[in-house]
Structure 1
Amino acid sequence: RKNMERQPYHFPELFTGDWDLFKKVLQNRQTVFVFDMDGILANSAKIVLKKFTEKTGVAVKPSEIDGWDFLTNLARKSGLSEETIEHAEDDWYKAEVLGNAQRYLYIRPVIQKTVGYYGSANNFVLTSRNHTLRESTSSWFRQKLPEIHDENIIMRKEGDLRKSVPFKVDNLRIFAEAAPWIIFIDDNIDFIKGALEAKIPNCLTVYVPLGKNMPDIRHERLILIKRYPNEIQAMYPLMDAIGRAISQDGNNDSVAHSY
């Protein structure tokens, strides 16, 4: 059996941004954590891409994702039917598909760490999922991440017609009014940009991109944390960064301080 080539783990190459600011925010026990769900906690990509391969025969891996219309573009490049192209992304929005997603590897220790250090009341999930997925979302957390309280899962309610970016930004403003710092962790650059453009001075954004997506912006309150091992898109570097920042000395001189 051929061994997978795996890059050696080297934390400074996987964390980009102001380490001192990251450490300062994390060492404040009143800091509020705001996690995205799909792509950060739930490995929705793995199950959606598996479904795509089953339907089309086109092999694809989450580590290859390079944009938000990835499956549409792949279907087009692969010469699939117009109908297949049109419906390539549908499974991202189906309760029966998303309900079967696993947690990302190492994300439960992240949540256990943040709930243990900052308290469950300071750990939120902010997802742009449609209100019709409320029940399946609550059920997923009960099974996969019971440390997150149901009332701390923020989703659109029925009749909320806000687009996803304003919905998230409006909620981040509310969180920020009640906390010295909020730390917003997402895998979608549009939400990260929205949070930064909103000029919320006590909101530190942490971008954990899926696959090959990399940021095309720089900002003093933007932290980039990559995934490792990349081939399974695991969250070890995020877990490591949080652990280092809240440890007694939190010393990490070798971390890159800017882009």
Structure 2
Amino acid sequence: MKRFLLLLTIFTMPVCGLMGQDRSGAPYFCNVPGTILEYIRTTAEGDVKWFHTMKIGSTSKNADTTCIDYTSHILNHKRKPYYGDEPAKLSASITQGKVTLNVAESVVAIFRTILPSGVTITSSGGESSLPSDLAPGDILPDIYASVKALGLTMRITVTERKVLRTETISTPAGKFSCLVIRERKVEKGMGRNRHTVADTWYAKGIGMVRHDTYDTDLKLITSEVLTEVHQ
């Protein structure tokens, strides 16, 4: 369960885009099929916790909305599957520059990689949107989600979502002009309670570039950075 909760944050982050393109009008997501993003997550001490690969699959258009299928797969520091042999299958949509994902549906996708195929999994709530015209000081809506499986319920709340600043940062994948968003997350149920604060750096056309997780005293727990973008 601890591993699952750590994965949940990353699976619900907008990601991707191609390097070297004009991204000024792009959303905080990728719509280029076949694009692969590589991340490395380290502990506060600098030890590798996992290697994270995200791949953009097919896209489809419905009126003014683009629907995107993508996968996420995580390997431990020894490059062995962290939670399941198969990648989690996820989806997102983009409407007029706004990226929308669903936290609850992402939880269900993760469960499907680790639970038997016959297990019933239900979810409610969880919609999360990230407009392309955000600016420092903007406040994003709270997120409330729940998922039920095997007679147990997990509840996730994401609150105090605020755009802190703009910042240009460098990672092994390159240099990015980013918007930094802070949020507070509480996960309860299924044998574990967790309360964290996270800062995430988003670049237009790329999505998540860096994700730092802290405890409630703002002591760094882990940091995940984009290391490569390729096709």
Q: Shorter chain as normaliser: what TM range?
A: 0.3 to 0.5
Larger radius of gyration: 1
Higher relative contact order (CA 8 A, sep 6+): 1
Q: Larger strand proportion, structure 1 or 2?
A: 2
Q: Name whichever structure is richer in helix by fraction.
A: 1
TM-score (normalised: structure 1): 0.32
